[in-house]
Amino acid sequence: MSVAARTPVREEGRLRSYLDFYATTMRTAVQANFQYRADTFLYMTGTIIEPVVYLVVWSTVARAQGDVAGITAGGFAAYYIAWTLVRQFNLAFTPYGWEWRIREGRVSANLLRPIHPIHYDIAEFAGWKFVNVVVWIPVAVVLVLIFEPALHPGLEDVLTFVPALWGAFLLRSLNLWTLGLVSFWTTRTAPLFELYILLELLLSGRLVPLQVMPGWAETIAAVLPFKWTFGFPIEALVYDLPVSELVGGLAIQTAWIVGMWTLMSVVWRRAVRRYSAVGN
């Protein structure tokens, strides 16, 4: 068999190995998290408190004024209830975890694994999403009954929302993973992480819908990755966006994923060289 003929076969086998790895790791994560349903529920409740606070505040303001930047109380309810689901999906490995991994020597073990270590984190957190969604459903039902959201998505909105959810998770995982690699050069990653969270709050649609922000903020948000981890999935479901914007949004999100994967790979290689050079 020629080299050209063997290459597709080898690539197909490699792809199958990755698919098997993800399926097994995600299934294990689901089983592990269902064993600790109470912990999962409490953790999820903690993440839902934030958008519920925003929901109460902006719904109250909208009822008093009629609307805010064209968004009614029902519009805010739809936005922030969708926000609670997006939040469950874009939870990812924290940059702070790298300090522990380096200090405890876990990186050495990770380097012995047959595939890139980021796949283990992505697969484990991806499996966790299925448990989170099951626990989230009754919470969402209660929120819908209380706040009566104005939510009437079309088929194209739902078909965009689903891949946008997973895209948001993957992009935010890459963002935080790459940021965490700074730990190989300094132990003071907290200021960088806090700056990241501040920018995310202001420019992602996490704090308020970008429609409420000044025009210049919307312009900046459109060219940074934060919007594509929060605002875009929510807007795809809640707002009546034309198909061109839905497809364009998915394309931009994909471009950011490719760009961040490339950046992560470069930083990872340099981080490993530094880790090896200092004798760990």
User: What is the rounded average pLDDT for all residues in the chain?
Assistant: 89
280 pLDDT higher than 60: no
Write down the pLDDT at residue 187.
77
Write down the pLDDT at residue 279.
52
1 pLDDT higher than 70: no
Write down the pLDDT at residue 259.
97
**3-state helix/strand/coil string of the chain:** CCHHHHHHHHHHHHHHHHHHHHHHHHHHHHHHHHCCHHHHHHHHHHHHHHHHHHHHHHHHHHHHHCCECCECHHHHHHHHHHHHHHHHHCCCCCCHHHHHHHHCCHHHHHHCCCCCCHHHHHHHHHHHHHHHHHHHHHHHHHHHHHHCCCCCCCHHHHHHHHHHHHHHHHHHHHHHHHHHHHHHCCCCCHHHHHHHHHHHHHHCCCCCCHHHCCHHHHHHHHCCCHHHHCHHHHHHHHCCCCHHHHHHHHHHHHHHHHHHHHHHHHHHHHHHHHHHHCCC
Percent of residues, the chain, with pLDDT higher than 90: 63
Rounded to an integer, the average pLDDT of 5-34 is: 80
Write down the pLDDT at residue 3.
44
Rounded to an integer, the average pLDDT of 208-213 is: 92
Token pair for residue 185? Answer: 């050069």
Write down the pLDDT at residue 17.
85
245 pLDDT higher than 90: yes
> Where exactly are the structural domains of the chain?
6-277
190 pLDDT higher than 80: yes
End-to-end Cα separation, the chain, in angstroms = 43
Token pair for residue 93? Answer: 């490995």
Rounded Cα gap, residues 263 and 1, in angstroms? 36
pLDDT class for 132, splitting at 50, 70, 90? confident
Token pair for residue 181? Answer: 């690699």
Rounded to an integer, the average pLDDT of 214-238 is: 94
Rg of the chain's alpha carbons, rounded to an integer? 21
Rounded to an integer, the average pLDDT of 45-58 is: 86
Write down the pLDDT at residue 278.
55
Rounded to an integer, the average pLDDT of 170-180 is: 96
Lowest mean pLDDT among 41-55, 143-157, 245-259, 261-275: 41-55
Write down the pLDDT at residue 174.
97
pLDDT class for 5, splitting at 50, 70, 90? very low
121 pLDDT higher than 60: yes
102 pLDDT higher than 90: no
Rounded to an integer, the average pLDDT of 161-177 is: 97
Write down the pLDDT at residue 46.
76
